Structure 1
């Protein structure tokens, strides 16, 4: 998962540089590319502080070149912080839930992958990025079994990919399809999954 963070962060940065800071992000209509990079830079910096048990809400710089350099610094710090044993306890912002460094590694891998798609959506020629079934299924599992309950949301949904099935409560929504498409559907990104019912209660912030 540590390698996945770098792979997707590198792809995100390439797309951001190609699109430019003022380009609109199709996947997130309220954002420009600069807004997107500021967000992922903040998240990476915040994750560093959580992994080392010193929670701090960082403040990315506003100027584009400064922001890119600051983000590079946070990425380096994240590699160091995530070099700890995955089972090492980390700070948890979720009351009642313990979190490890491994949890933050996994969280950042998927956070970065999804925002890679956002950066690529700002390009005139959007690349045909597809995530492997292993990675996408892990992302679906992380979304449903880690992130959703920690956000205080009950997942009354049935989710099916060719490799796995998740079922919670009395499902009022069903999602099925290739793991890559189901992954995108849960995160509210363009997809080709089959969706019945209302996924809005599960929507990521």
Structure 2
């Protein structure tokens, strides 16, 4: 395709400056400059020890072909064309996931149960309209940093209190540290069990 670049083995070797890809732990495939960008995730099979992968600022439409990267701890696919979160189940060591600035609408129910080591999750600037999507993380024990700003549901003035009530381990929400007063307010606002999801009074 015109304007599309491809992730080839020769390109990878050129980027990392080594003939062997087996011992590479960090790979940056960000393409911020104008011109051709990557549309497909491919040819990463030999990066068995990869721990940090940056694919931001491309035109990737689907998360795919990452299942073999079982040592991956940080994954950045921000500023792409994603509409779904998929095919990440095998990445059980993932700790940092950045999917901001995409077109994602929902959080799959498997995400908090499969990515049990996740401590930082960024889905800011997406198309998530229902804040109850994040209730799926209520049993997560490692999630401490969450970014959701720029999604439609953040127009609701009480969205922070709602999320903090359900996500007790979150310490940083949208770049702001969670205070004890805010945590108390979330309990007072939503701890009575008398509210209707998605119809919260402003």
Q: Same fold (TM over 0.5)?
A: no
Structure with greater Cα Rg = 2
Higher helix share: 1
Structure scoring higher RCO (CA < 8 A, sep ≥ 6) equals 1
* TM-score w.r.t. length of structure 2: 0.30
* TM-score w.r.t. length of structure 1: 0.30
